[in-house]
Copies of this chain bind each other. A is one copy, B any other.
Amino acid sequence: MVIAGELVAGGGTEIRAFDPNAGTELEPAYRYGDDSHVEQACAAAAAAFGEYRATTSERRAAFLERIAENIEALRDALVARASAETGLPAARLTGEVGRTTGQLRLFAEVLREGSWNGARIDPALPDRAPLPRPDIRQRAVPLGPVAVFGASNFPLAFSVAGGDTASALAAGCPVVVKAHDAHPGTSELVGRAVSDAVADCGLPAGTFSMLFGSGPGLGTALVTDPRIKAVGFTGSRFAGMALVAAAAGRQEPIPVYAEMSSINPVFLLDGALATRAAELGAAFVASLTMGSGQFCTNPGLVIAVDGPDLDTFVAAAKDAVGQAQATPMLTPNIAANYAKGVVALDADADLVVRGAPGDGRTTCRAALFSTDATTFRGSEALQAEVFGASSVVVRCADTAEMASVISGLEGQLTATLHVDDSDHDQAAELMPLLELKVGRILFNGWPTGVEVCHAMVHGGPSPATSDSRTTSVGGRAIERFLRPVCYQNVPKALLPSAIADGNPDGLWRRIDGQLTQD
């Protein structure tokens, strides 16, 4: 573990990563921390907060860039260790290094652009009747130390120095990470890289800590520590909702940004099916089985009007699943949960095809099911996320039944529509329904693959996330860790520079409600 710049070994449960390709455990062993480590990390974070949040945007941007450089310097070692710990191919992990450093650099850009300050000024109106208006200004301040829970399926991009850590550090919040058990070696490497960057940049040591521990034990202790002011989490619905409940039960409740559960419906409209059903079936399976289906945006649901074109799609998908290589899942636990999930789907839907069985302890056997809309609407199991390469095709009688399936859906990260020009009217009918259910609507593509950019939303209504008002990917993620403060008649000498006269930081600001750089 890393606590405020010190390397610390825990004394609790011993954990080792599992190599899904080799089927063996990996050295070295890591050990869980306990409440005393939570206490140390939170005390250090609270002590660091005042100095860290007072740093300039430029200084925090340079810090994020240094983290990116330190990670890049470890690229080969990181990819090798992460590949051993997750079974993910080196090419995918090399891409994930780039995504992780890209995220850090995106937030450096967001910091330098400066709108994150939310600067607003309503100048005094001393002559207003019946009462003069005071000088009123507003800017954003960081919430305080943030607890981040690393995800299993993105050992770099959603883990120790992933999106949650990058956005919280950008906002001016110290971070205490609970690293995921599935990749402790990768976590150690990245944790050192971040901790080194803290030292390189002369920042207070408590700006960053990383702990190992169980979710219900150390994780709960972290979320309920009064010095922690917000939580970022990516994982299961069960674990996420447990953290939400723990945070809500505090003396001072705090926001929890939990990204949890989504089955990402894909709609095949008639025109698209008529012209390219077979092609869509093959492409669908490529998205479904990529990374053994271990993506929160995995297409777990396909919805279309029944008929020969949909039969063609299903036949093509069936062929593709049959030909797909069996690949290992991240951990034995995930593989066991996937197998259970497939059994639950099998109980309520008709099996179309299973993938090759493979021979490893954690092999993911892809699974495709089919059902009708009435059965789907009546089944809780068919709406539950099964983490891995399984999907259910829902055959609808007509567009109206597609709409009614949408109305019965829980919240989702994404919805995908495959359309031809002839489908635009139908798509225009479905989009308003989908806007209420999802964080991202995409056309003629596949939901796996989340672009890190300014306009991305990786979020959505419950249970996709615990807070639909935000995104965990993209520039706006910084807003999750900020809140507005108003300054009324503050003497000029005491105003923060973001809202000072003369705009010394050169920000876009809202003066009397109008955006200006003056």
**With A435-B141, A443-B491, A469-B483: A136-B424 Cβ-Cβ less than 8 Å:** no
Write out, one digit per residue, whether chain A residues 444-472 have a CB within 8 A of any chain B CB (1) or not (0).
11000101011111010111001111110
> Is A436 in contact with chain B by the CB < 8 A criterion?
yes
Complexed CA–CA distance, A137 and B494 (Å):
39
Smallest CB-CB separation from A485: which chain B residue?
B435
Chain B residue contacts of A443, Cβ below 8 A: 488-491, 494
| Pairwise interchain contact B439-A475, C-beta atoms closer than 8 A | no
| Pairwise interchain contact A419-B491, C-beta atoms closer than 8 A | yes
Give how many copies assemble into the complex. Answer: 2
> Is A35 in contact with chain B by the CB < 8 A criterion?
no
Write out, one digit per residue, whether chain A residues 349-362 have a CB within 8 A of any chain B CB (1) or not (0).
00000000000000
| Pairwise interchain contact A486-B462, C-beta atoms closer than 8 A | no
Complexed CA–CA distance, A496 and B115 (Å):
24
Pick the residue among B115, B411, B488 that contacts A515 (CB under 8 A).
B115
Smallest CB-CB separation from A476: which chain B residue?
B484
> Is A510 in contact with chain B by the CB < 8 A criterion?
yes
Chain B residue contacts of A372, Cβ below 8 A: none
Q: How many whole Å from A515's CB to the nearest CB in chain B?
A: 5
> Is A144 in contact with chain B by the CB < 8 A criterion?
yes
**With A141-B436, A436-B141, A445-B488: A475-B513 Cβ-Cβ less than 8 Å:** yes
| Pairwise interchain contact B510-A134, C-beta atoms closer than 8 A | no
Write out, one digit per residue, whether chain A residues 90-123 have a CB within 8 A of any chain B CB (1) or not (0).
0000010000000000000110010100001110
Write out, one digit per residue, whether chain A residues 414-436 have a CB within 8 A of any chain B CB (1) or not (0).
00000101001001100110011
Chain B residue contacts of A493, Cβ below 8 A: 424
Complexed CA–CA distance, A234 and B33 (Å):
42
> Is A440 in contact with chain B by the CB < 8 A criterion?
yes
Chain B residue contacts of A435, Cβ below 8 A: 141, 485
Chain B residue contacts of A483, Cβ below 8 A: 459, 461, 468-470
Pick the residue among B131, B444, B485 that contacts A489 (CB under 8 A).
B444
Complexed CA–CA distance, A80 and B486 (Å):
34
| Pairwise interchain contact A120-B455, C-beta atoms closer than 8 A | yes
Interface centre among A134, A432, A436, A508, by most chain B C-beta atoms within 10 angstroms, is A436
Pick the residue among B113, B115, B133, B253 that contacts A244 (CB under 8 A).
B253
Interface centre among A419, A421, A510, by most chain B C-beta atoms within 10 angstroms, is A510
| Pairwise interchain contact A494-B431, C-beta atoms closer than 8 A | yes
**With A120-B455, A136-B451, A252-B462: A439-B485 Cβ-Cβ less than 8 Å:** yes
Chain B residue contacts of A508, Cβ below 8 A: 515
Complexed CA–CA distance, A134 and B452 (Å):
11
| Pairwise interchain contact A439-B488, C-beta atoms closer than 8 A | no
| Pairwise interchain contact B453-A485, C-beta atoms closer than 8 A | no
> Is A336 in contact with chain B by the CB < 8 A criterion?
no
> Is A442 in contact with chain B by the CB < 8 A criterion?
yes
Complexed CA–CA distance, A252 and B408 (Å):
13
Smallest CB-CB separation from A255: which chain B residue?
B469
> Is A514 in contact with chain B by the CB < 8 A criterion?
yes
Write out, one digit per residue, whether chain A residues 400-412 have a CB within 8 A of any chain B CB (1) or not (0).
0000000000110
Complexed CA–CA distance, A482 and B459 (Å):
13
Complexed CA–CA distance, A457 and B122 (Å):
12
> Is A438 in contact with chain B by the CB < 8 A criterion?
yes
Pick the residue among B141, B455, B515 that contacts A136 (CB under 8 A).
B455
Smallest CB-CB separation from A463: which chain B residue?
B252
Complexed CA–CA distance, A346 and B456 (Å):
55
Interface centre among A244, A451, A471, by most chain B C-beta atoms within 10 angstroms, is A451
Write out, one digit per residue, whether chain A residues 228-245 have a CB within 8 A of any chain B CB (1) or not (0).
000000000000000011
Complexed CA–CA distance, A425 and B220 (Å):
40
| Pairwise interchain contact A441-B113, C-beta atoms closer than 8 A | no
Within 8 A of B (CB), among A157-183: none
Chain B residue contacts of A486, Cβ below 8 A: 439-441, 455-457, 471
| Pairwise interchain contact B451-A489, C-beta atoms closer than 8 A | no
Pick the residue among B113, B419, B468 that contacts A514 (CB under 8 A).
B113
Chain B residue contacts of A54, Cβ below 8 A: 432
A residues bordering B, Cβ < 8 Å?
A: 50, 54, 95, 109-110, 113, 115, 120-122, 130-131, 133-134, 136-138, 141, 143-144, 244-245, 248, 252-253, 255, 410-411, 419, 421, 424, 427-428, 431-432, 435-436, 438-445, 449, 451, 453-457, 459, 461-463, 466-471, 475-476, 482-491, 493-494, 508, 510, 512-515
List 6 A-B pairs, minimum CB-CB distance, nearest first: A442-B488, A457-B486, A120-B455, A440-B486, A138-B455, A454-B513
6 contacts between A and B (CB under 8 A): A109-B513, A113-B514, A244-B248, A424-B493, A431-B494, A440-B488
